[in-house]
Amino acid sequence: MFQKKHDLVYLTEDATHSDAIDLINREAFGPGRFTRAAARIREQGPHDRSLSFVCADDGETIASVRMTPVMAGTVRGHLLGPLAVRPSHKNKGIGRELVRIAVEAARRKGSEAVFLVGDPPYYGPLGFEPVAYGVLEFPGPVDAARILVAPLADNVHARLPGLIAWRPI
């Protein structure tokens, strides 16, 4: 039996990846992705390409993660997402590796925290922890139990109360 060897490469996102990323996100989330509270933040300004990454398999872009600069209370951080992997490549650790790469890049760039709205069982082992109920105000409805943060600086939780919104880089 012949088994194809995958040549996975992780790259910093650039403009040539845009169409593939749009397709991946459409496959993963459908049209409902534009109605989410996190999408309202992303609409406020551009994501940070220097902290956004793709995974390519034999030259085909098969996964991506984007990071959007935000202020959350008095914390200068980044909102992680969307994170999406093509169905043909799910459950191979690609999403987790993209998160790891993005969080480490944010740490190196001086980000104080990485936020997301997601599933605690998936993101918890990657260093994310719950934000206390009612602490962050999103520009739309959000399930408070799914608001997570990976603190990258001291005292992040104490500085969170307030609005989370896009900020210029």
Q: What is the pLDDT of residues 42-60, one digit of tens each?
A: 899 999 999 999 999 999 9
Domain edges within the chain:
8-166
Q: What is the pLDDT of residue 28?
A: 74
Q: What is the pLDDT of residue 2?
A: 44
Q: What is the pLDDT of residue 6?
A: 61
Residues counted in the chain: 169
> For the chain, how far is it from start to end, CA to CA, in angstroms?
51
Query: What value, to the nearest 5°, has the Cα angle with vertex 160 and ends 70 and 111?
Result: 45
Q: What is the pLDDT of residue 35?
A: 53
Q: What is the pLDDT of residue 110?
A: 98
Taking only the tens place, the pLDDT of each residue in 91-119 is 999 999 999 999 999 999 999 999 999 99
Q: What is the pLDDT of residue 1?
A: 44
Q: How far apart are CA 128 and CA 116, in angstroms?
A: 9
| Below-70 pLDDT ranges, the chain | 1-6, 29-36
> What's this model's pTM, rounded to 2 decimal places?
0.91
Task: Write down the CATH superfamily of domain 8-166.
Answer: Gcn5-related N-acetyltransferase (GNAT) (3.40.630.30)
**Please, is 66 exposed, middle or buried when counting C-beta atoms within 10 Å of its C-beta (0-12, 13-18, 19+)?**
buried
Q: What is the pLDDT of residue 65?
A: 98
